[in-house]
Structure 1
Amino acid sequence: MSWFSIVPLVFAAVAILFIPGTVVALASRIRGLALFAVGPAITVTLVAVAAVVAPMAGLTWSAVPVLLLTLLFAALAFALTAFLMKGKGRRGAVVDWRTSGLQWAAVIVAAFLVGRRVVAVVGAPEAFSQTFDNVFHLNAIRHVEDTGSASSLTISSFTGGSFYPAAWHDLVSLLTNLTGADIPVAVNVVNLVVAALMWPLGCMFLAHTVAGARVAVTVAAGILAAAFGSFPLLLLDFGVLYPNFLGNALIPVALALGIRLLGLRVETSESRTVDGLLLLTSLPGIALAHPSSVMAFLALMVPPLLFAWGKVTARLFQADTVSWPRLLGMLAVLFAGVASLVTTWQNVRPLEEAAFWPPVETTGRAIGEVLTSSAVGRPVSWAVSILAVAGIVSLIVRRSQLWFIGTYLMAASLFVVVASFPVGPQRMFITGVWYNDPPRLASLLPIVILPLATIGAVACWDGLVLPAVCKMLRGVGGKSSPGKPAAAFALPIVGAVAVCILAFGTQQANVREAVNAAAPGYQLTKDSPLISTDELALIKRLDSKVPEGSVIADNPWNGSALAYAFSGRPVLLPHMHGSVPEGGKKIIDDLNDASVDPSVCPEVERLNVDYVLDFGHREVHGGDHGYDGLDNLALDGVARLVDEEGEAKLYEITACK
């Protein structure tokens, strides 16, 4: 399958991710680039919430619940903003066609730079990650198709679990539902659209909020969105952490809306109340993508919140008479905010036994990786690092947006703690929210480094490039300025050269190494760690060999659990850490004794296990979890061989008939 052949699926995924939320954002009177940045964040909320509500309303999962919720939210948004913005005109109106065209050109460039890296990682549209976590993700999507329910409250019920943040699975299952796409193809298409469109647009929106809505800001932010190996590529490699990948891609939008709500954006906001409502609408989607992404948002918002609190409190002391009731009220707000954050921090986290990842380096090295944008052992990204330092210097010199340096230090500190602090209560409290997992926190660093690097790039353009161009033009044609005809001709050429230099400088070893590290995990070979070429070939024939309704006994550690995702035939154990159904342990331990042990067949019949998929004892992590009862079935006279491909075998149980 070629990437060209899935272009219609890409357009379908773009429609799913952008149309519902953009309709609501449009009803909120947002215009310009912000409309398409905020839209997907609202879409994720609409889709994830619709998935939870649909079963309660007796609706099967499809586009219908999303459409109904979209219409409801759009009507509410239109009514509320009509009331709140009466007489204020339209929000974010486009300045002119030239500016709009340049901004969308920047979006296209960003989509190309990020998209080509994602394509290089995945390799082929039908490829799938050969990793532990992907067994759950792919089987969960099949479970949604089989049950007609995509609720986060029940999506993990096929493993014996309860709540699991399912926004990512909801989006993928919508694409399979609407287009009939195979699950792996739908996964890759959704990830491509999130990485290549949703992420750069969010970065541009955040950069506009911090640095102003100039074309130079848009272009720099778009190129820099593709400049990091630690996001979006890292989470498409490590884990794979698809839900966390979606949640983190939404953080720039939430952070921008939070900053606007506090009145800290560079330009005046038409309605901070509307910004707050949009933020509240976006947060449920982020939480249902991955709760740790909401916690990351809260952590990154602490510096601007403290800055805004300090500004308001300082005004109380600037008055002729200090208003002690108001001052006490501000102290009470601070105390309540800190108490709420600490309480949330202590409770919204995985169990301690799941946060087992150890530190990986010294504190000095971790700090160095933050400064050089080379987290988790990636090569130094010199262009990004220099621009980020320039951005920090620019903010300090101009005494503007200094609170954002605090946001940068917050993300940096979290990474340094998780990467280098010793295992103990302090590290568990600070970074246990992210499973004490360095890659998860490394993936947050681009969110705070990118705006600083954008500011640095624009400062270089304003302070070095523009003066040099004007000086050159004065030297060859008399007086000139950026508004004169000669400058109007020269500046686009110089700008194009600057864009090429920035793109070339940021697409170097750091990003290439991320691709090289991730790509092997998507390659299907004779020795793939999860499913080999032989095993996949056998799985693809299961629907013609195994009747509907028959359950297949399996060892989930050797990849045979994915028979469920790829063939639709149910397996006894769909995940490594799922609960074993009552009587299932007897099958996986003693099935090969069925001809001599009378206690085996009753469990086989009760669980409707008619077939066994034997992929041997080569497991995804190189261990051996037993499942010895599935060995030597034909030799022991328990089953007959139905199909085989290389060492992969399908048996039909005969001893219990």
Structure 2
Amino acid sequence: MWIEFLFTVLVGAFLVIIPGALLLKGLGCSFSASAACAAPVSIVLFIVIGIGQSLLGISNWILLILVVLVVSAAPLLFTAATKRNGENSTVDSYTRIKIGDLLLYVAVSLGIMSLVFLKNLDGPSSFLQVGDNAFHLNIVKSMMESENFSILAVTQYPNVLPQNQIPFMNSSFYPAGWHIIVSLTSLLLNTSIPLSENAINLLFTSIIFPLGISAMMQLTFKEKGIVFFASFLVVACVAFPLRTLVVHQIYPNISALSCVPAVVCLGMVALRNLAVFDCRALVAFFLASGGIATLHPNGVFVCAIFLVSFTLTDIVPTVCNRNKWLAGKKGSRIALSLILILVSIGLWIVLKSSSFMDSVTSFLWTWTIGMDEAIGHIVSLGLRSGIPQGVLGVLVFLGFCYCASRWQYAWLPLSYVVVCGVFFFNAIGDPAIKQFFAGFWYTDPERTAALVAIAAIPLASVGLCLVYKGISFVILKKDSVGLEGSYRAKIVLAVMVAGLFCFINYSSYRFFFDGRLSAFGATENELEYESMASNGRFYSERKRDFVEDVLEVVPRGTLILNMPHDGSMFAYAVDDLNVYYKSAISSNESNDSIVIREGLDRYDMDLDVRKSVENIGVQYILMLGTSEEENYDSNRWEPSSWEGFSNINDDSNWLEVVIEREDMRLYKIVG
């Protein structure tokens, strides 16, 4: 099955990288830059064409992929056909990105994530059982069933179902870029949805994210040592990506955050090329911004933090120095900077208050800690987990001081201060403060911690390079052993320093702390426990076995009534059981659904209930548990909403027990 998983990662990489790379190459990117920044551009192509197909009434996933490939190749073919002999169509800034460094970052990150993520999964098809994941799995399943890939009509109930079998008519806009890629890989390889889910998560966190970080580091730093050490630090902070893969399954947000470095790179080049009026870089940036917005809109705000900081410390000074009206005038740089800051704050306030973002910014996460504790978590990089990563924190401090003292790198510590501020005020603030600073991230401390983790990477890379230089100066300063100036010796020392850091940082236990679990160790243990089928929160291994028995008795596709909170909300996407309730209670509920939820147990004495059951055309009822404490998702379970199911038992004379095991039942309606 792991071979199948590998092929799924490769197919996912083809879908996420090739279309965007072709389009970016046609827009003047170098080959290596095109590959590094392709993902968000590929996503926007699938989004736009998916919407187009839906509006035209076309439902065909193969055609979607073919059209995306054709459209992505069109600019490259046009450029090749119109280019004059000897003409260079590549934007100069992109030539600094080298393929060798990209491959190094991917290789190191894949190796580390295989050890801390894949190794701790209970098989490639394991899945974490929280309601949010049921939501994501069911959206993917719905897309596969309907072949409708429009983000304007996302639903857990595919439109191929008869209207009477849909309890919640809630098709609406949702940023489903991640879901489209998962569904297409499953369709291409006929793999299970959980397997594709894990494969695409690995793709974004261990390939797409390192590619973007590598490109950003190469565009920012000319010193090869800093670029080299950064390859070992891409996934060094447990807050992102590892911890986000474990807690509440925010997979679309993870994919968006993984694309942030790529979008930032395209933004940097676009800003630097505004002066020469090269619109190709600007087009590439806008396409990538659209792509990250359709993975998750808050990814755009992360990019904005980086790019506004970059503009303040790089573009504004350049404009002031080159513009004849501004050059030499005192206060011009300060004035432009203040204007940019005020405009940015104004846009922040307007968007936070907009109805479009209300469902996100109005959400309130109640986690709050004291001011001293919040500062300690930031300095030690314990962040949300609270377990310090001391060595990494020291490296970030060293890199922060170094970059803050050099204007060309000042945007990196400035970005870091801003995201630390977002985390800090979200951690200590009252509801209004939380929502102002962290509303775009649901005031979720896990997501705001992820921002800090991403911004820490370049600073920690500089810090590790400074440590290396210090050790190198001490060890290689004398020629007594013939090592001074030896390139080979420096390489060996650099690898040893990087290896020592990895040994300390990624170890499961903290050194000098009596063997206590490290941040990685604690998170890996949590992942291992949560992914084990036998530890399933409410769709356990025994319940899945029971569903398999049901599928042997009931013809596939047969509609079955269920109480989703007993775990059966997973049965549709994971085991292909056509349950009526594929989700918890949602909007636009049908009258039949309301009657059934609240009064199914009165089937034999209430004509309205009987009529509603007949309307949806169901003969079977699935019950996967009757113990609220042991079987129900307690965070979402509302007993009063499901009394029609709670009061059903073997004594109901209108029901026949078809399969029974422990407290699980498959009933057939015979009354």
**What TM-score results when the alignment is normalised by the length of structure 2?**
0.87
Check conservation: 1:388, 1:456, Cα contact below 8 A.
Answer: yes
Q: Does 1:181 align with 2:191?
A: yes
Of 619, 632, 638, the match for 1:619: 632
Deviation at 1:477, TM superposition (A): 3.5
Q: Does 1:647 align with 2:646?
A: no
Residue correspondence of structure 1 range 391-410 to structure 2 within 5 A: 391-410=399-418
Of 481, 487, 497, the match for 1:476: 481
Check conservation: 1:235, 1:244, Cα contact below 8 A.
Answer: no
Residue 42 of structure 1 aligns with an amino acid whose one-letter code is: V
How many Å separate the matches in 2 of 1:170 and 1:298? 25
Residue 167 of structure 1 aligns with an amino acid whose one-letter code is: G
Residue in 1 that maps onto 2:644: 629
Q: 3-state DSSP class of the match of 1:231?
A: coil
Deviation at 1:451, TM superposition (A): 0.9
Deviation at 1:495, TM superposition (A): 2.5
Residue in 2 that maps onto 1:610: 619
Deviation at 1:51, TM superposition (A): 2.4
Question: Which whole-Å deviations, capped at 9, do the CAs of 1:534-578 have from their partners, x for residues lacking one?
Answer: 211122344333335532222222211222113434322211142
Deviation at 1:61, TM superposition (A): 4.2
Q: 3-state DSSP class of the match of 1:130?
A: coil
Deviation at 1:582, TM superposition (A): 1.8
Of 298, 301, 311, the match for 1:295: 301
Deviation at 1:176, TM superposition (A): 0.9
Q: 3-state DSSP class of the match of 1:649?
A: strand
Question: Which whole-Å deviations, capped at 9, do the CAs of 1:443-495 have from their partners, x for residues lacking one?
Answer: 1112110011112222333x3244445424x23349x53xxxxx133233223
How many Å separate the matches in 2 of 1:328 and 1:464? 40
Residue in 2 that maps onto 1:48: 47
How many Å separate the matches in 1 of 2:94 and 2:254? 31
Residue in 1 that maps onto 2:162: none
How many Å separate the matches in 1 of 2:411 and 2:331? 26
Deviation at 1:168, TM superposition (A): 1.0
Residue 625 of structure 1 aligns with an amino acid whose one-letter code is: P
Residue in 1 that maps onto 2:466: 459
Residue in 2 that maps onto 1:116: 115
Question: Which whole-Å deviations, capped at 9, do the CAs of 1:302-360 have from their partners, x for residues lacking one?
Answer: 32233434653575675478999x99999887765554443223225243796121132
How many Å separate the matches in 1 of 2:67 and 2:358? 34
Residue in 1 that maps onto 2:533: 524
Residue 175 of structure 1 aligns with an amino acid whose one-letter code is: T
How many Å separate the matches in 2 of 1:37 and 1:179? 25
Check conservation: 1:244, 1:290, Cα contact below 8 A.
Answer: yes
Residue in 2 that maps onto 1:286: 292
Check conservation: 2:539, 2:567, Cα contact below 8 A.
Answer: yes
Residue in 1 that maps onto 2:553: 545
Unaligned runs of 5+ in 2: 158-167, 508-517
Deviation at 1:160, TM superposition (A): 3.3
Question: Which whole-Å deviations, capped at 9, do the CAs of 1:379-407 have from their partners, x for residues lacking one?
Answer: 21122111111111212344432122111
Q: Does 1:588 align with 2:597?
A: yes
How many Å separate the matches in 1 of 2:649 and 2:143? 33
Residue correspondence of structure 1 range 9-28 to structure 2 within 5 A: 9-28=8-27
Unaligned runs of 5+ in 1: 482-486
How many Å separate the matches in 1 of 2:334 and 2:239? 43
Residue in 2 that maps onto 1:484: none
Between 429-438 and 397-406, report the one with greater CA deviation: 397-406
Check conservation: 2:657, 2:668, Cα contact below 8 A.
Answer: yes
Q: 3-state DSSP class of the match of 2:409?
A: coil
Q: Does 1:31 align with 2:30?
A: yes
Q: 3-state DSSP class of the match of 1:68?
A: helix
How many Å separate the matches in 2 of 1:409 and 1:228? 17
Q: 3-state DSSP class of the match of 1:377?
A: coil
Deviation at 1:200, TM superposition (A): 1.5
Check conservation: 2:381, 2:389, Cα contact below 8 A.
Answer: yes
Q: Does 1:598 align with 2:632?
A: no
Deviation at 1:271, TM superposition (A): 8.8
Residue in 1 that maps onto 2:454: 447
How many Å separate the matches in 2 of 1:84 and 1:302? 37
Check conservation: 2:22, 2:76, Cα contact below 8 A.
Answer: no
Residue correspondence of structure 1 range 224-373 to structure 2 within 5 A: 224-263=233-272, 273-307=279-313, 308-309=315-316, 312-313=319-320, 319=327, 338-347=345-354, 348-351=356-359, 355-373=363-381
Residue in 1 that maps onto 2:504: 505
Residue 561 of structure 1 aligns with an amino acid whose one-letter code is: M
**What TM-score results when the alignment is normalised by the length of structure 1?**
0.88
Question: Which whole-Å deviations, capped at 9, do the CAs of 1:44-75 have from their partners, x for residues lacking one?
Answer: 22223332222123332414223313322332
Of 419, 424, 427, the match for 1:419: 427
Between 302-311 and 360-369, report the one with greater CA deviation: 302-311
Distance 1:414 1:83, change over 3 A: farther
How many Å separate the matches in 2 of 1:83 and 1:8? 37
Q: 3-state DSSP class of the match of 1:125?
A: coil
Q: 3-state DSSP class of the match of 2:653?
A: coil
How many Å separate the matches in 2 of 1:207 and 1:65? 34
How many Å separate the matches in 1 of 2:275 and 2:119? 40
Residue correspondence of structure 1 range 63-78 to structure 2 within 5 A: 63-76=62-75
Distance 1:102 1:152, change over 3 A: closer
Q: Does 1:561 align with 2:574?
A: no
Q: 3-state DSSP class of the match of 2:115?
A: helix
Question: Which whole-Å deviations, capped at 9, do the CAs of 1:582-615 have from their partners, x for residues lacking one?
Answer: 2112212222221122221110011122221102
How many Å separate the matches in 2 of 1:591 and 1:332? 63
Q: Does 1:144 align with 2:143?
A: yes
Of 435, 442, 445, the match for 1:435: 442
Check conservation: 2:312, 2:337, Cα contact below 8 A.
Answer: no
Residue correspondence of structure 1 range 50-129 to structure 2 within 5 A: 50-76=49-75, 79=78, 87-88=87-88, 90=90, 101=100, 104-129=103-128
Deviation at 1:157, TM superposition (A): 6.0
Number of residues of Structure 1 aligned to a counterpart in Structure 2? 638
Distance 1:183 1:271, change over 3 A: farther
Distance 1:604 1:57, change over 3 A: same
Deviation at 1:621, TM superposition (A): 2.3
Coordinate RMSD, CA, aligned: 3.3
Of 199, 205, 213, the match for 1:203: 213
Q: 3-state DSSP class of the match of 2:430?
A: coil
Check conservation: 1:534, 1:645, Cα contact below 8 A.
Answer: no
Check conservation: 1:643, 1:650, Cα contact below 8 A.
Answer: yes
Q: 3-state DSSP class of the match of 1:262?
A: helix
Deviation at 1:299, TM superposition (A): 3.1
Deviation at 1:32, TM superposition (A): 5.5
Q: Does 1:388 align with 2:396?
A: yes
Check conservation: 1:122, 1:519, Cα contact below 8 A.
Answer: yes
Between 7-16 and 279-288, report the one with greater CA deviation: 7-16
Question: Which whole-Å deviations, capped at 9, do the CAs of 1:58-114 have from their partners, x for residues lacking one?
Answer: 3324142233133223323665797899944645799999x8556524431221112
How many Å separate the matches in 2 of 1:380 and 1:514? 13
How many Å separate the matches in 2 of 1:52 and 1:30? 27
Residue in 2 that maps onto 1:490: 489
How many Å separate the matches in 2 of 1:512 and 1:573? 38
Distance 1:92 1:21, change over 3 A: same
Q: 3-state DSSP class of the match of 1:174?
A: helix
Residue in 2 that maps onto 1:169: 179
Structure 1 vs Structure 2: percent identity of aligned residues?
21
Distance 1:366 1:327, change over 3 A: closer
Deviation at 1:129, TM superposition (A): 0.7
Deviation at 1:288, TM superposition (A): 1.0
Residue 436 of structure 1 aligns with an amino acid whose one-letter code is: T
Distance 1:610 1:150, change over 3 A: farther
Check conservation: 1:203, 1:447, Cα contact below 8 A.
Answer: no
How many Å separate the matches in 2 of 1:395 and 1:353? 33
